[in-house]
Structure 1
Amino acid sequence: MQLTQNSLETYGFPQGFFVIKSLASGRLLDVEASTSDDSTEVILYPEQETSLVDSLRDPLHDNQVFGIDPSGALFSRSSGHALDVEDGRLVLRHRRPITHPFPNAYSHPLPQFIYSPENKEISVTFDTDPAYPPPNASQNRASVAEAWRYKRYLLSSIPMRKPKTLMDNASAFLTSAISTPLSFLSGNRNIESSPDEIFGTGLDLREDEILEQDRGEEGEVDDSPDPLRRVRVLGVTDATDSGLGMKAMLRRKWEVIPLREARKKVVTPRRASAGVTA
């Protein structure tokens, strides 16, 4: 069968090169530090080149430009390397030789990316368990080992809060002490904490480690002055998505904007010739 332009599969993405914008933050997917090193993280960063005309763009900002190949692999224009998923992070991946036992964390088939223009989601499909457990780890846990097959994997942005100041921590401590004075005096403290309470403590809990449905109101705050935001590939099910808030849903929405070969033509109405009436 001879392939034609109409039969080529682009997995929902436009043909050619494009930028990918987060509808939640307005930032673009960006290869961090414009490097080409293996496992370089792909992040969100403010738009660095506003022109969508390919010939007018500064090549220095090609780290914010991507393409899709015929196999469904998403790749960076600046390096030519494909994108992979490593511990939930979106990273650059150099092609690697097959090593046994195959597949493994080092050597495996690249994931396939699919964009839905209708619901604005970018889904990721894997040929094998993206956790790449050792072969002997799943022999006696078949149901657990197959759990990844029943998940949908979606690209999502992650909110980032500004760092807590000493005044913020002091205020939170005083508020907690005033609201539960007897507990502090008696030493009988409630060990159960809500997600909002966890966010207010000094626990080393990263934003991307919080389940989407457990973030709570404070966990949805995105007020950090840092221009960088993280993205994660989330494994979700109908159960985990039950009751998902509007902000969490918006973080999974993306606009894929194709680059153009030339400027758009501006059509102006023609003036009527002198002496000619309409």
Structure 2
Amino acid sequence: MTADTMQTFGFPPGYFIIRSIASNRLLDVTNDDVEDGTEIVLWPEKDSSLVESRRSPEANNQVFFIDPSGALCARSSGHAIDIEDDRLVLRHRRPVSLPFPNKYSHPLPRFFYDTKSGEITVQFEYDPTYPPTPQATGAWRNKTYVLASIPMRKPRTIIDDASEFLTSAVTAPLSLFGLASPKPTPEEVYRSDIDIGEDEVVEEERGEEAEVDDSPEDIRKVRMLALVDKEISDKTLGEKARNRRRWQVAPLRTVNARTGA
């Protein structure tokens, strides 16, 4: 690893955009806000040009850079990116407050980009849950923290509900005579009344149905996954799940690649 690579932690020097392979959306500061705690999400690309002079300033909230300490920063505000309850958020630098570290005041996480795997990992100096009292086990140190996009299903419609009702009405009587299996389908399990959001599904338990990403909404969420055994997790991943952990980082150029102007 060269000195230049170490200084940028795998990211290109200067400004760059970060694209989710799974959703083809860019990392984006919500509403171009500058307030502390503003969530970083995925949003459709605002400007396709990678040449600085051709880009709209309104697209700067989709541009990031890595500082010398390894902190990922938003260009539009200059603030760093922190992890709060597994979400990416803007974070102002804060003064030390005791007991240190705590949720309010702590060292910013470092971000690393692996150009081969396309994964972005996060490294912490302290337990990212910042418990009131230090944990003796230090189990958090053995986890691998990886960024992933979260799929979003389209809302259920009246037609969906009616179709499910009719299917249940026909299947239930038949099951009394052993003519139909009462076992729920993956779709029924996924669409059950249990109020679990897409970003709350345990990665290892996310089935094929939960990988469907067909919502018409522009926004998608980003979450940090805490993997107890990344090697085993990688072996069990399907292609869709793997792509949700893959990112394309593209640097912005000061000149046109073809003309040099």
TM-score between both structures, scaled by the size of structure 1: 0.83
CA positional deviation for 1:97: 1.0
Q: Secondary structure at the match of 1:216?
A: coil
1: distance between equivalents of 2:5 and 2:154? 48
Structure 2 match to 1:263:
256
Unaligned runs of 5+ in 1: 185-189, 268-278
Does residue 154 (structure 1) correspond to residue 146 (structure 2)? The answer is yes
Structure 2 match to 1:87:
85
Does residue 249 (structure 1) correspond to residue 247 (structure 2)? The answer is no
- The amino acid that maps onto 2:117 is N
Range with bigger deviation, 161-170 or 226-235: 161-170
1: distance between equivalents of 2:165 and 2:142? 42
**Large movers: runs of 4+ above 4 Å:** 5-8, 180-184, 192-196, 239-242
Q: Secondary structure at the match of 1:169?
A: helix
Q: Secondary structure at the match of 1:13?
A: coil
Count of aligned positions: 251
Unaligned runs of 5+ in 2: 177-181
**Does the 8 Å contact 1:172/1:200 carry over to 2?**
no
CA positional deviation for 1:178: 3.9
Distance 1:161 1:127, change over 3 A: same
Show CA shifts across 1:51-107 (max 9, x none): 111122111110000000000000000000000011110110011111111111111
Structure 1 match to 2:158:
166
The structure having more radius of gyration, on CA atoms, is 1
Structure 2 match to 1:271:
none
Distance 1:106 1:263, change over 3 A: same
Distance 1:177 1:211, change over 3 A: farther
- The amino acid that maps onto 1:163 is P
Cα RMSD, aligned residues only: 2.3
2: distance between equivalents of 1:13 and 1:7? 8
**Does the 8 Å contact 2:43/2:220 carry over to 1?**
yes
Show CA shifts across 1:141-161 (max 9, x none): x33xx2211111001000001
Distance 1:113 1:8, change over 3 A: closer
Match of 2:226 among 235, 238, 250: 235
2: distance between equivalents of 1:227 and 1:135? 41
Q: Secondary structure at the match of 1:9?
A: helix
1: distance between equivalents of 2:37 and 2:9? 24
TM-score between both structures, scaled by the size of structure 2: 0.88
